Chain A
Amino acid sequence: MPVDRFVRPLNAGIAVLLFAALFSLPSVTLSAGEATPVAENPELEARVQSLSRNLRCLVCQNESVAESRAPLAVDLRAQVREQLGAGKSEAEVVDFMVSRYGDFVLYRPPFKASTALLWLGPLVLLVGGLGWLLLRLRSREQEPALHLTEDERRRARALLEGNPADSEEQRS
């Protein structure tokens, strides 16, 4: 039968696929192990992460303690984890770091006399710039408008019409 001729190879193909799937199944279940938890206490780990993102790694200064793989950053993360785990507040841990490494350890330096220029500088520049611009605009407004006499107007018109001879004539 003509139909059989088409069906048979198809059946064979499906059988091969099933066979292959049968063999590949056990290997799939074996390789997929149970995912180990990253942290024993995910909530604590989240606090450690968010706090250490605001701490500068002093070895590689453009990386935060949360990102850096420097040994010191690993140690500092461990300190943060330990202290938060022991029930200290975020502020207390930050104080601990600042008292040892200085304000430089913070990406957001506190506002005080030595950092006033840092915090206020851009604002001062902005206000100063706007003030200067305003003064300029106002003084320009007060400049008297240019008034031409009838004679000057005629010369100007002559020049605009491309007739310099006319304007010269007027001047003499």
Chain B
Amino acid sequence: MKAKFLVPLAIFLALAGFLGYGLTLNPSVVPSPLVGKPAPAFQLAKLDAPQETFGVDDMRGQVWLLNVWASWCVSCRQEHPYLVEMAGTGGIPVIGLNYKDERQAAIGWLRAQGDPYLATVTDEDGRVGIEYGVYGTPETFLIDKDGVIRYKHIGPINRDTVQKVLMPMIAELSRAG
């Protein structure tokens, strides 16, 4: 046992390894148990036409994104250009879930920032948000043709998210079934 003096060093390195790995994790990102489960159904009033409703069933047969946003949400402003860009290329329909917002503020916000949404529904009391396990805005769900949630992105999306994560998944899901 000549190398006995190396034991504390080995323990230290193992501990440092674990702690170092911990530093790369983001504690505010909580994995959603809803991935792989059917998207919770909702039937909500449209933002621009409150007398009409829109629901998950209206998107059956399509691969689509559900983007949770609010006009009071600062990081939504940050991700918005990428949503506009994605909608512009026509790759995927995006549905907006306007979370605990005021109708007029939301309409004004979309007018100013651009409207990438095929439809925006309003979740005034945040009930549908709770059904989707939303705990902050923005959050984005990728939902397949059968209405199953395939991916959840927490926080603002950026070019990297779109190109490296969303687009490949969308391409794959669109080919399937």
Contacts and interface: CB of A to CB of B under 8 A. Distances in A.
Given A58-B135, A72-B135, A100 B30 contact: no
B130 A76 contact: yes
B133 A102 contact: yes
Interface size on A, as a range, is: 10 to 19
A102 B33 contact: yes
A99 B33 CA distance: 6
B42 interface: no
Interface string A67-85: 0000110011001000000
28 contacts: A58-B135, A59-B135, A59-B136, A61-B27, A71-B100, A71-B126, A72-B136, A75-B125, A76-B130, A79-B130, A99-B33, A99-B34, A100-B33, A100-B34, A100-B130, A100-B131, A100-B133, A101-B30, A101-B33, A101-B133, A101-B135, A102-B30, A102-B31, A102-B32, A102-B33, A102-B133, A104-B30, A104-B31
B132 interface: yes
Interface of A: 58-59, 61, 71-72, 75-76, 79, 98-104
A125 to B, nearest CB: 12
A34 B132 CA distance: 42
Nearest to A75: B126
Interface in B33-68: 33-34
Nearest to B131: A100
Q: Which 8 A-B pairs have the closest CB atoms?
A: A58-B135, A100-B133, A102-B33, A104-B30, A101-B133, A75-B126, A72-B135, A59-B135
A98 B34 CA distance: 10
